[in-house]
Amino acid sequence: MRIVLHIWRQRNSSDKGRMVRYEVPSVSEHMSFLEMLDILNEDLIARNEDPVAFDSDCREGICGACGCMVNGVAHGPIPGTTLCQLHMRHFRDGDELYLEPWRARAFPVIKDLIVDRTAFDRLIEAGGFISVSTGSAPDGNAILIPKHDADRAMDAAACIGCGACVAMCPNASASLFMGAKIAHLGTLPQGQPERASRVLAMAAQAREETFGSCANIGECEAVCPKGIKLEVIGRMNWDFIRASWGW
């Protein structure tokens, strides 16, 4: 099938950038979205044109490296799917698709569809890890954890840090990402010693990185490829209030 692409092209962070139209005439429905972009880039290289820069790594939906806006939706129109796992069978012959990078002050554009997401790394660094000296792999049954708590921690740990929540939020808030990381450790007994200091440090770092505030609109949950729930934001807010008041 034939797909028409309107792609944001920007040489570097200081370039103004613009949308450029391309046609990919021989797209198989079995291709992934990134494979379709690979075909486009092969054609551009053959014509001595600059290929479209986009992020990818595992292409299995687990690393969080890929991602762009497809017709205004982070990762495209299929819920619970990363861009690399989005397949062309979900589109029709002659479809026109508009591809743009994540739009957030905290995620400056590096080139084309690639943005700098190291702000997430600094959030993680601010939150730190846990102070438990584990040594070798501990016995899985050494610390008994209620199944409900273990399930909540594992659900939060599913976050891959792709940044779709920030890109889709009207305020460019990182609350879903932060909430997932805080809930992951804060739900488990090993994460209790730093529970208060972690949430305060991450909140302060989020302000420094110019992430916006959460308005509970829910766009973040709607586009999260791993289905992280808004509940983690509520837990983060509760932890922040307790830590701020010294409870």
Task: Decide if pLDDT at 229 tops 80.
Answer: yes
The mean pLDDT of 116-125, rounded to a whole number, is 96
- pLDDT value for 156: 96
| Closest to 68 measured CA to CA, from 121, 9, 115 | 115
pLDDT in tens, 37-48: 999 999 999 999
Domain residues of the chain, as ranges? 3-110, 117-132+140-245
* Predicted confidence band of residue 180 (pLDDT cuts 50, 70, 90): very high
Question: How would you label 10-20 residue by residue, b for 16+ Cβ within 10 Å and e otherwise?
Answer: beeeeeebeee
In this model, does residue 130 exceed pLDDT 80? Answer: no
The DSSP secondary structure of 38-82, one letter per residue, reads HHHHHHHHHTT-PPPP---SSSSSSS-----EETTEET-SSTT--
- For 117-132+140-245, CATH gives 1.10.1060.10
Give the pLDDT score at 183. Answer: 94
Q: What is the pLDDT of residue 110?
A: 97
Whether residue 134 has pLDDT greater than 90: no
pTM: 0.92
Number of helices and strands (H, E) in the chain?
8, 7
What's the rounded Cα separation, in Å, for the pair 220 and 209?
18
pLDDT of residue 198: 95
Tens digits of residue pLDDT in 182-225: 999 899 988 888 999 999 999 999 999 999 999 999 999 999 99
> What is the bridge-based pairing of β-strands 18-24 and 3-9?
antiparallel
- More confidently predicted of 63 and 139: 63
What local confidence, expressed as pLDDT, does residue 190 receive? 84
Residue range 3-110 in CATH 1.10.10.10: no
Q: Examine domains 3-110 and 117-132+140-245 and report if their fold is the same.
A: no
Contact status, residue 189 vs residue 145, Cβ threshold 8 Å: yes
pLDDT at position 98 is 98
